[in-house]
Amino acid sequence: MKYNLELIKNKRRIIGFSTVLILFSLLGILYSTFNTSYKKPINLGMDFVGGNETRIERVCEEACSNFSPDTVLQNLREISKNKKVLNNIKLQFQNKNKLISIRTPYLSIEESNNLISNLDNIVGPLNYESKDSRLIGPKLGKKLLTNCVTSLVVSLFAISLYITIRFDKKYALFALLALFHDLLIVFGIFSWLGIILSVEVNSLFAVSLLTIAGYSVNDTVVIFDRIRENLKSKKEGYNETIQLSVNESFRRTTFTSITTLIPLLSIILFGSYSLFWFSLALSLGIAVGSYSSILLAPSLLLKD
């Protein structure tokens, strides 16, 4: 099997496609910043703004009875001692009414326990063995956010430095362009997910961005290496050599991406819910990363 990607012919289309993707991401980020209730480029989750999230299962003999979240909240208001707790509360039933997920601003452990025992009185019995509760103070949230942003900046800087040392200017520039392209698109997709499905990002999202950065650069490096090697030895023209190199490493790049995507898809399908969005972000990043390594970055190298 020989691959024959017509890179030279399709240069405009590839760059056009990426431009559309980037515009789409920027649109999401802008819309999210100005037109949502949270006014942030991305819907920041509890890790970053603080709060309390509890997920707990109900014990049901057969099918769990149906409750509307509004009635439950109204009942909660009636029996709760501390009314303050009930501001900005979000309640959802999932998994055929079995799983309750409840979000509030930051509460103390005591307040959170009271809330759950009140909930138990309304929709109980609840299975405390299945409880998953997180309380994050607003101060820590801010600290985590700074922490994640610093990690991202530092590691992007380290990667940029590594690339600049390893390649000459032109290659380094395009490799980095491809990297930021990948990160921007994943970020943009999650901005849109936040707008449409209220998906929130937590510290694991920052981790996925960092991992994507490491991985995507890796792919680009391999292809650029091949191009450099071939430019030294081959007698064909500059553009043709680039296209040939891409086709030579096409199999290798797609295969490594596939073998990395397979375990991620297993986590999405079989793993815990807390890893779902994380694995999705990683999968998206790796898919976009392979696209940009194989098609975008080499296209940018092509001469008109």
Partner 1 sequence: MKRRQGWLFFIIFLLTLSVYLLINYPLQLGLDLQGGSQLTLQIIKEEGKVTRDELEAVNSVIDKRVNNLGVSESNLQTLGGDQLILELPGEQNPLVASRVLGKTALLEFRTQKEGTSTDLKTLQLQRLNIKELIEQYSFAEKSQNDNNLNVIQDDLKDIEQELNYSFTSNDLYGKLIEIKKYVDKEITNLFNKTDLSGKDLINAGRRQEQTNSNWEVLLNFSNSGGEKFAEITKSIAGTNQLLAIILDGESISEASVGNQFVNTGITGGSATISGNFSAENARELEVQLKGGSLPLPIEIVETNTIGALLGSKNILKSLYAAISGLIFVGIFMIFNYRILGFVSVLSLLLYGFFNLALYSLIPVTLTLPGISGLILSIGMAVDANILIFERIREELNDGNTLTRSIDSGFMRANSSIVDGHITTLLSCFVLFLLGTNFVKGFAATLGIGVLISLFTSLNCSKTILRFFTTYQSLRQKNLYLPRNNFSN
Q: Which is nearer to partner 1, 26 or 73 (CB)?
A: 73
- 3-state percent helix, strand, coil for the chain, nearest multiple of 5: 70, 10, 20
| Interface positions, 17-46, toward partner 1 (CB under 8 A) | none
Nearest to 189, CA basis, from 287, 74, 80:
287
Is residue 282 within the footprint of partner 1 (CB under 8 A)? yes
Residues 188-207 that bind partner 1 (CB under 8 A): 203-204, 206-207
Phi and psi at residue 131, in whole multiples of 5°? Answer: -75, 140
User: Hey, what amino acid is at 222?
Assistant: V
**Main-chain phi, psi angles of 258, to 5 degrees:** -65, -45
Does residue 94 touch partner 1 according to CB under 8 A? no
Phi, psi of 93 (to 5 degrees): -105, 135
Residues in the chain, total: 304
Residues 208-267 that bind partner 1 (CB under 8 A): 210-211, 213-215, 217-218, 221-222, 225, 251-252, 255-256, 258-267
Out of 6, 128, 234, 238, the only residue in the binding site for partner 1 (CB under 8 A) is 128
Nearer to partner 1, 16 or 125 (CB): 125
- Which DSSP category does 59 fall into? -
Residue 31: CA atoms inside 13 Å, Cβ hemisphere, count? 15
Rule CB under 8 A: say whether 144 interacts with partner 1.
Answer: yes
Residue 99 in contact with partner 1, rule: CB under 8 A: no
Using rule CB under 8 A, residue 81 touches partner 1: yes
56, 100 Cβ separation under 8 angstroms: yes
Region of 11-19, 35-43, 60-68, 123-131 interacting with partner 1 (CB under 8 A): 123-131
Minimum CB separation of residue 254 from partner 1 in Å reads 10
83 counts as binding partner 1 under rule CB under 8 A:
yes
